Amino acid sequence: MRSFMIAKRIGMQLLRDKRTLMMMFVAPLLVLFLLYSVLNAGSSEIQIGIVGDETLEIEGWEQYSSKTPALNEMRKGKLDAFVIPEENAYEIIIEGTENAKRNATYHIITDNLEQQNKTKNQNIPVHTDYMYGGDNLTAFEEVGPAIMGFFIFLYVFITSGVSFLRERTFGTLERSLATSIRRSYMLTGYFLGYLPFVAFQAFTMEVFTIYILNVPLEGDLLLLTIVSLIIACIALALGLLLSVFAKNEFQLIQFIPILLVPQILFSGLFDLAGGEQWVRGLANIMPLSYSTRALNAIMLRGEDIYWIWSDLLILCSFILIFIIANFIMLRKERPY
């Protein structure tokens, strides 16, 4: 009988806790649906070009007058590979940072060139080179930048959210709000107080990823550190914001499946170019989609800030939006 009474009390508590019920029954279905949509998005059509005056009878291959514009298009992500027909060989240049697309591109090109040789009754060999990465790029090295960005985001979010939540549960925040300190000073103080620790946390993961896990770094370490710091600032601001809506650590952790798991799904680990418009649109509002693009450009392709400045601008906009939202929530706590 006593066990039954305890079970009844637990059941009634769960029924009254609408947030927990949502996490138990709605959140898993939403995450599964998003995963289904992402995995069924399909890859974008492979774009192949031909450099030079010689025209190969292959439909859909873009013609380029020289190697330079083809390389520029490849750096912009608009071209996956191009072929340079030479006198004694076909030279193939493949972008090389995506394993599945790299292999598919190679087979498409070699199959078409083999057909050309049969049609023209010739035997011209094929030489393959990669603009980035290549056959030496392992599966983890390919996704390493995206994984690193997600873990920085995840753990900084947990650290900042739980820490700020303790400020609320221990009454420290309420006592601060009872003073004459301006809300802007208070929010800035909290942000700057946590910032050195989460920045060091992000830098530690960055160094571990590069020097222990051996994920390649083709670009500038300082620029990579700046991007990691921006990711940490976004997670810090979001953690501070969402801690307002939680009464304890368990409720804060409940935000992870509904808000953070979609981040990894839409971060760039999966090719969404062939997906529905709403899938691509949802990826555009995920901070990690922009951070992954910037991290890949720096670590795998060795690009400078010229190629990622727009992504950095959008990421900084997320920081500003979350800080403004924090300020609004503090205003509700104390309207002066």
Percent of the chain with pLDDT over 90: 19
Of 16-30, 149-163, 306-320, the range with the highest mean pLDDT is: 306-320
Q: What is the DSSP string of 262-322?
A: HHHHTTTSS--TTS-HHHHHHHTT-HHHHHHHHHHHHHTT---GGGTHHHHHHHHHHHHHH
Q: Which of 55-59, 73-77, 94-98, 161-165 has the lowest mean pLDDT?
A: 55-59
Contact 100, 43 (CB under 8 A): yes
Q: Provide CB contacts within 8 A for 35, sequence distance 6+.
A: 265
pLDDT the model gives residue 116 = 76
Mean pLDDT over each residue of the chain, to the nearest integer: 82
Q: Higher model confidence: residue 299 or residue 59?
A: 299
Higher-confidence residue of 330 and 255: namely 255
For residue range 49-78, list pLDDT tens digits in order: 888 776 666 777 888 888 888 888 888 888
> What is residue 90's three-state secondary structure?
strand
Give the pLDDT score at 47.
85
* Rounded-to-integer distance, Cα 260 and Cα 107, Å: 37
**Is the pLDDT at 211 greater than 60, yes or no?**
yes
CA distances from 8 to 12, 107, 273 (A): 6, 63, 50
pLDDT exceeds 70 at position 305: yes
Q: Is the pLDDT of residue 19 over 80?
A: no
Confidence at residue 57, expressed as pLDDT on a 0 to 100 scale: 65
Detail the DSSP E strand segments found in the chain: 48-51, 62-64, 81-85, 90-94, 126-130
Task: State residue 175's pLDDT score.
Answer: 61
Q: Which of 8-12, 141-145, 205-209, 332-336 is least confident?
A: 332-336
What's the pLDDT at 147?
A: 92
Share of the chain above pLDDT 70, in %: 89
Q: How confident is the model at residue 183 (pLDDT cuts 50, 70, 90)?
A: low
Strands 62-64 and 90-94: unpaired
Cα separation, 43 vs 24, in Å, equals: 32
